């Protein structure tokens, strides 16, 4: 077990000042691996929120006119600092979020790459010139930063998700008020410290904590806030989207998925089983892109299931600070309750519990990799995102049936196909209703590739060359010589 330094102190960050709990209300932060209390997270008061809005508005008036080179310099410096401080950030991330330390490092280093991508790409926020109808006229289109953004980020990849939204906003010339989820706050506090150290002017980035609905309403209703970006569940995304619509605010929504996995009879089953087992165990399945509805061709379903269960049996569930651990605890008790309900519903509906199925007695929020077979399509797990390490497996007979199953739900985030057939590959990649399709491997969520969903899974993309679209407005300028 790795020796730990004391867990980080937690702060609000408003107008360039760090504010601790003092006499403010605060929440306990708990280690999901053993139930111990790690620290206290201060809540922003309404006057703190107003101060954050005022400082972000003030800072926008100068930050928006900085050159992309200057903005890129801050982001590049943040990337350097992330790498320098990776050990401390990753350890605290494992302590409050639960993921194995190696995954925490991977999240931190991946975030550094996102900062670099945005540092480079912000130099390419191009406009265009449109041929005029009159030689005395020049018609141009420019893109300008949208203004103050409110970003709501989740607890499953707290560092990476916050960094993505903040980099996209700052890189485009916007300023940000960040309201992350409470369950795993240390990495976000660390991130804000790095931006402060990298020389980001006060007010460009503010960090607030507190009751989510009070804070999101306060920020979204403020006329100064021009854009909302949210990563989280579909129901909350719809609530925030409705509120944003009432106030005509732009939104980016990266919401839940229920990723279909189509394993065809010609697939490399060993490869599919080991890939999917590792991928599903990542972050204990608490990943919006996790493979989560498995449809396997009936001729290979038994063989695939055996291989998948065998791969799962090699996973080591435990405290993320233990180097042997390959799957940590669930981050909060809500997920344990959800796993138990999904498993018991599926079993009551006639599914076979082929592996796992029961949480440990504690301490710690551990749930084993679980496999259900012969799962009826009407069961909850085939319709609700599990967001945990439970896999339902059902079968199909034809490519048409597989495609229909993949597209049957209102979700459309990630999807996975395993086949050697070019024909099936093309049919599935073009036909699946999802923002991302990955064939024969896990190839999504890189800084240079767009991440986003369709249908209930969201609006807009993060990453890729699309990353600044949602943070800039289009202005058309038509000039005639006098």
Local structure of residue 381 (DSSP, 8 states)? G
Helices 158-172/86-97 angle, 10° precision: 120
Q: How far is the CB of 457 from ligand NAD (least distance, A)?
A: 8
> Residue 260: which of 430, 451, 415 has the closest Cα?
415
Backbone phi and psi for residue 125, each to the nearest 5 degrees, phi listed first: -85, 80
Q: How far is the CB of 256 from ligand NAD (least distance, A)?
A: 3
Task: Output 313 or 333, the one with its CB closest to ligand NAD.
Answer: 333
Q: How far is the CB of 416 from ligand NAD (least distance, A)?
A: 17
How many CA atoms does the CB half-sphere of 216 hold within 13 Å?
Answer: 22
Q: How far is the CB of 336 from ligand NAD (least distance, A)?
A: 11
In the three-class reduction of DSSP (H, G, I as helix; E, B as strand; rest coil), residue 430 is classed as helix
Positions in 382-411 near ligand NAD (CB under 6 A): 385, 387
Q: Which residue among 175, 231, 312, 373 contacts ligand NAD (CB under 6 A)?
A: 231
Cis status of the peptide bond prior to 363, with omega within 30 of 0: yes
Task: Output 53 or 403, the one with its CB closest to ligand NAD.
Answer: 53
Binding mask 109-148 for ligand NAD (x = CB under 6 A): ----------------------------------------
Q: How crowded is residue 224: how many other Cβ atoms within 10 Å of its Cβ?
A: 17
Local structure of residue 31 (DSSP, 8 states)? -
Q: How far is the CB of 331 from ligand NAD (least distance, A)?
A: 9
Query: Candidates 8-16, 233-241, 260-268, 435-443 — which segment interacts with ligand NAD by CB under 6 A?
Result: 233-241
Q: Which residue among 4, 62, 67, 213 contacts ligand NAD (CB under 6 A)?
A: 213
How is 282-294 classified by DSSP, letter by letter? GGGG--TTSEEEE
In the three-class reduction of DSSP (H, G, I as helix; E, B as strand; rest coil), residue 140 is classed as strand
Q: How far is the CB of 467 from ligand NAD (least distance, A)?
A: 17
Residues 174-209, buried b or exposed e (16+ Cβ, 10 A)?
bbbbbbbbbbbbbbbbbbbbbbbebebbebbbbbbb
Separation between Cα atoms, residue 292 and residue 343, nearest integer Å: 14
In the three-class reduction of DSSP (H, G, I as helix; E, B as strand; rest coil), residue 70 is classed as helix
Q: Catalytic residue numbers?
A: 254, 288
Task: Output 216 or 351, the one with its CB closest to ligand NAD.
Answer: 216
Task: Output 33 or 208, the one with its CB closest to ligand NAD.
Answer: 208
The gap from C-alpha 336 to its chain's centroid, in whole angstroms, comes to: 20
Helices 101-121/68-84 angle, 10° precision: 160
> Residue 476: which of 129, 68, 169 has the closest Cα?
129
Positions in 244-263 near ligand NAD (CB under 6 A): 254-256
> Residue 124: which of 460, 472, 444 has the closest Cα?
472
Q: How far is the CB of 155 from ligand NAD (least distance, A)?
A: 5
Binding mask 329-368 for ligand NAD (x = CB under 6 A): -----x----------------------------------
Residue labelled with tokens 């989740």: 154
How is 80-134 classified by DSSP, letter by letter? HHHHHTHHHHHHHHHHHH---HHHHHHHHHHHHHHHHHHHHHGGG---EEE--SS
Positions in 275-314 near ligand NAD (CB under 6 A): 288
How many CA atoms does the CB half-sphere of 449 hold within 13 Å?
Answer: 11
Q: How far is the CB of 152 from ligand NAD (least distance, A)?
A: 4
E strand segments, 365-471: 370-373, 390-396, 414-418, 436-439, 458-459
Backbone phi and psi for residue 34, each to the nearest 5 degrees, phi listed first: -145, 0
Task: Output 265 or 414, the one with its CB closest to ligand NAD.
Answer: 414
Binding mask 144-183 for ligand NAD (x = CB under 6 A): --------x-xxx------------------------x--
Task: Output 79 or 288, the one with its CB closest to ligand NAD.
Answer: 288
Both tokens of 389, joined, read 């390490």
Q: How far is the CB of 28 from ligand NAD (least distance, A)?
A: 16
Query: Candidates 32-40, 69-77, 212-220, 310-318 — which segment interacts with ligand NAD by CB under 6 A?
Result: 212-220
Q: Does 233 bind ligand NAD (CB under 6 A)?
A: yes
Task: Output 241 or 399, the one with its CB closest to ligand NAD.
Answer: 241
Count of residues touching ligand NAD (by CB under 6 A): 21
Task: Output 96 or 254, the one with its CB closest to ligand NAD.
Answer: 254
Task: Output 233 or 449, the one with its CB closest to ligand NAD.
Answer: 233
Separation between Cα atoms, residue 230 and residue 92, nearest integer Å: 24
Binding mask 33-52 for ligand NAD (x = CB under 6 A): --------------------
Q: How far is the CB of 85 from ligand NAD (least distance, A)?
A: 24
Backbone phi and psi for residue 138, each to the nearest 5 degrees, phi listed first: -120, 130
Q: Which residue among 97, 160, 216, 467 contacts ligand NAD (CB under 6 A)?
A: 216
Task: Output 152 or 195, the one with its CB closest to ligand NAD.
Answer: 152
Separation between Cα atoms, residue 317 and residue 319, nearest integer Å: 7
Residue labelled with tokens 């999917």: 276
Binding site for ligand NAD (CB under 6 A): 152, 154-156, 181, 212-213, 216, 231-233, 235-236, 240, 254-256, 288, 334, 385, 387
């Amino acid at each position: 077990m790795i020796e730990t330094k004391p867990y980080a102190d937690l702060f609000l960050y408003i107008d360039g000042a760090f504010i601790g709990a003092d006499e403010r209300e605060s929440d306990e932060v708990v280690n999901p691996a053993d139930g111990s209390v790690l620290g206290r997270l201060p809540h922003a008061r309404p006057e703190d929120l107003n101060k954050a809005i005022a400082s972000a508005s003030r800072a926008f008036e100068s930050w928006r006119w900085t050159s992309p080179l200057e903005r890129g310099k801050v982001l590049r410096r943040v990337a350097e600092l992330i790498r320098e401080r990776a050990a401390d950030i990753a350890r605290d991330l494992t302590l409050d979020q639960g993921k194995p330390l190696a995954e925490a490092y991977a999240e931190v280093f991946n975030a550094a790459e996102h900062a670099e991508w945005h540092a480079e790409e912000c130099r390419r926020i191009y406009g265009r010139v449109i041929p005029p109808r009159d030689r005395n006229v020049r018609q141009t289109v420019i893109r300008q930063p949208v203004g103050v953004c409110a970003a709501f980020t989740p607890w499953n990849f707290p560092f990476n998700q916050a960094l993505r939204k903040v980099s996209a906003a700052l890189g485009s010339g916007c300023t940000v008020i960040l309201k992350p989820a409470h369950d795993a706050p240390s990495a976000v506090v660390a991130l804000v410290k790095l931006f402060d150290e990298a020389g980001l002017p006060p007010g460009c980035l503010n960090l607030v904590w507190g009751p989510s609905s009070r804070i999101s309403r306060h920020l979204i209703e403020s006329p100064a806030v021009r854009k909302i970006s949210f990563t989280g569940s579909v129901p909350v995304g719809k609530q925030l989207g409705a509120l944003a619509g009432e106030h005509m605010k732009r939104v980016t929504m990266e919401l839940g998925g229920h990723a279909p996995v189509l394993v065809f009879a010609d697939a490399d089953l060993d490869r599919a089983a080991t890939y999917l087992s590792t991928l599903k165990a990542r972050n204990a399945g608490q990943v919006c892109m996790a493979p989560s509805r498995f449809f396997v061709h009936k001729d290979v379903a038994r063989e695939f299931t055996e291989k998948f269960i065998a791969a799962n049996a090699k996973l080591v569930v435990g405290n993320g600070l233990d180097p042997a651990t390959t799957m940590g605890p669930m981050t909060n008790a809500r997920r344990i309750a959800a796993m138990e309900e999904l498993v018991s519903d599926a079993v009551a509906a006639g599914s076979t519990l082929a592996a796992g199925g029961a949480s440990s007695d504690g301490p710690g929020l551990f749930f084993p990799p679980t496999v259900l077979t012969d799962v009826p399509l009407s069961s909850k797990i085939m319709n609700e995102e599990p967001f945990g390490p439970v896999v339902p497996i059902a079968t199909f007979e034809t490519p048409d049936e597989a495609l229909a199953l993949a597209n049957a739900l209102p979700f459309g985030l990630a999807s996975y196909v395993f086949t050697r057939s070019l024909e099936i590959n093309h049919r599935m990649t073009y036909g699946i209703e999802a923002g991302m399709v990955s064939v024969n491997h896990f190839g999504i969520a890189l800084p240079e590739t767009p991440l986003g969903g369709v249908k209930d899974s969201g609006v807009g993309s993060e990453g890729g060359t699309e990353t600044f679209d949602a943070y800039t407005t289009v202005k058309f300028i038509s000039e005639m010589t006098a």
